[in-house]
Amino acid sequence: MIQTVFVATAHAACPQVPDRSDRIAAIYERLQAAPSESEGRRINNELWAIWTEAPDAFAQSLLDEGMARRESYDFEGAIAQFDALIAYCPDYAEGWNQRAFVHFLRSDHALALADLEKALSLDPDHTGAMSGQALALLSLGRTLAGQAVLREAVALNPWLPERGYLIPRNEE
């Protein structure tokens, strides 16, 4: 962890996160018109490809290493990588979103929510972060708030895998 932080501070400032809003808006339009779940999943993967495209090679290496560590259940190592990514690129929403995911996996829903709020302040239409926020809220027993966020996310992406957590409005 110390080495990662040292390397992060040795680099110049992170480049500005490019504006990808037009590309993402076009993908949401295609998602809303997708005729099937399999097509929706394929299109949804295009969103993740954009979100996980870091601003530069160094940020990408931190993101990739953090995701690899998370996938191998090295949650401490993943958090260290995402901490370094956030320190280097504080305006890159996916760094916050990925760290939130690790917090969620560790059942630390309060920390997950804090990171998700930051991710969504940077990228308000990030349905991955929105669905994560909804699941964290639901895990904390905040059903109405979780359902509201999830409905917002599903309005953008009707094929969102987490849509199965929606409950009919009359049962909320």
Chain centre to alpha carbon of residue 106: 16
Name the percent of the chain lying above pLDDT 70: 92
Give tens-digit pLDDT for 63-88: 999 999 999 999 999 999 999 999 99
Give how many domains the chain has, as a whole number.
Answer: 1
Q: What is the CATH number of the domain that holds 88?
A: 1.25.40.10
Residue 135 lies in a domain: yes
Rounded (10°) CA dihedral 139, 161, 22, 126: 10
Give tens-digit pLDDT for 13-42: 999 999 999 999 999 999 999 999 999 999
Task: Find all residues with CB under 8 Å of 83, minimum gap 6, and list them.
Answer: 5, 99
The confidence score (pLDDT) of residue 171 equals 66
Rounded to two decimals, the pTM is 0.90
| pLDDT at residue 50 is higher than 50 | yes
Dist CA 137 CA 74 (whole Å) = 24
Dist CA 116 CA 110 (whole Å) = 10
The confidence score (pLDDT) of residue 2 equals 40
| pLDDT at residue 167 is higher than 50 | yes
End-to-end CA distance of the chain: 43
Range of the domain at 124: 2-7+20-159
